[in-house]
Amino acid sequence: MRVNFKQESFIEGYFNRIFKGLSFERIGLKLARVKEIVEVERIENYKLPLLMFLLEDDSLLHVEIINDEIKPDLQSMLVYDMSIILRCGLQVRTVILNFGSRQQGGEIERNFGSVHYNTQVVDLYGLDGERVYEEINRKISSGCLLNEREKLNLVFLPFMKKSVPFDKVLPKVMSLIEKIKDNEERTAYLTVLPEIISRTTKQGVDVLREWLMGSEVGERIKDEGVKEGMRESIMIILLEKFNLLPDNVYNAIAEQNNENILMKWLQNVTIICSIDELKKMVINLE
């Protein structure tokens, strides 16, 4: 395993646009500010970290998200943290953000043989999401750029406490993001939030897929018929996931001209986890 500081991908670029220079003090973490997002190589049979940030004091912040249904994979978290410490000599602090009603803030501890592992739990469910939504909505509607606190709030807004369930909140937040006037800022949030959601909860992926089909973003993609742009987007996302694509998969995507099929692939590509799944999707190979 290595921490990879190679040239940033387009997704990493959007993460850095939002998080670079931010402090997590707003959610109760007194840490150095974020320097950049970090890409971590996958360790076989262990779940990749959700988010890993290099901080300005050259330590790493490992972030996971849980709720009442999503339980923390502490063994995977430990494996990645220890690999970074042993191979890179970097200090790692691991934090779990909770948006469930049953888990409280504090710590989660587990013993793995002689190794004692503990992580801090930050309770996002205790934050007033409806108040935060109204505050950010007013700021975006006025055409002003978001400040540091508001940027962090917008990223985690779907996970804060609301009077309506998560599957109703998420489309509202995505529609709020669509109102951002600055094109690069809007694109960054429309990229980063779905990326976090897709790594967190299947329910969120289903909601995002439905939102995309009925949103102006999805309609613009359809109406403009930018097949080449869709093919390029699919390729970029897949190459970021797998680094190299089999020739038959690459050719199947490059030669596809059906807009409906390309749209379907674009919606599903973020949740593809293996080359076999990819083959089944684009060329129906078992």
Q: What is the pLDDT of residues 193-236, one digit of tens each?
A: 888 888 887 788 888 878 877 676 666 555 544 566 678 778 87
- Using alpha carbons, list the distances in angstroms from residue 103 to 22, 79, 100, 250, 282: 26, 24, 6, 44, 41
Question: pLDDT digit string (tens) for 55-78?
Answer: 999 999 999 988 777 788 899 999
Residue 95 has pLDDT above 90, yes or no: yes
Residue 273, Cβ neighbours under 10 Å: how many?
8
Statement: residue 14 has pLDDT above 80: yes
Residue type, 131: R
Per-residue model confidence (pLDDT) at position 258: 83
* Model confidence at 101: pLDDT above 90: no
The CA-atom distances, in angstroms, between 22 and each of 127, 150, 187, 212, 253 are 19, 10, 19, 29, 38
Percent of the chain residues topping a pLDDT of 90 = 28
> Model-level pTM?
0.71
The residue length of the chain stands at 286
Burial class (CB in 10 A: 0-12, 13-18, 19+), 33: middle
Lowest mean per-residue pLDDT among 154-158, 205-209, 238-242 = 238-242
Question: What pLDDT does 43 receive?
Answer: 87
Tokens of residue 274, six digits: 């293996």
Are 119 and 95 within 8 A, CB to CB? yes
pLDDT reported for residue 202: 77
Is the CB of residue 59 less than 8 Å from the CB of residue 84?
A: no
pLDDT of residue 77: 93
pLDDT of residue 108: 84
Q: Tokens in use for 180?
A: 């951002």
Question: Which two three-digit tokens encode residue 44?
Answer: 């076989």
What pLDDT digit, counting tens, does each position of 178-190 carry?
Answer: 899 988 888 889 8
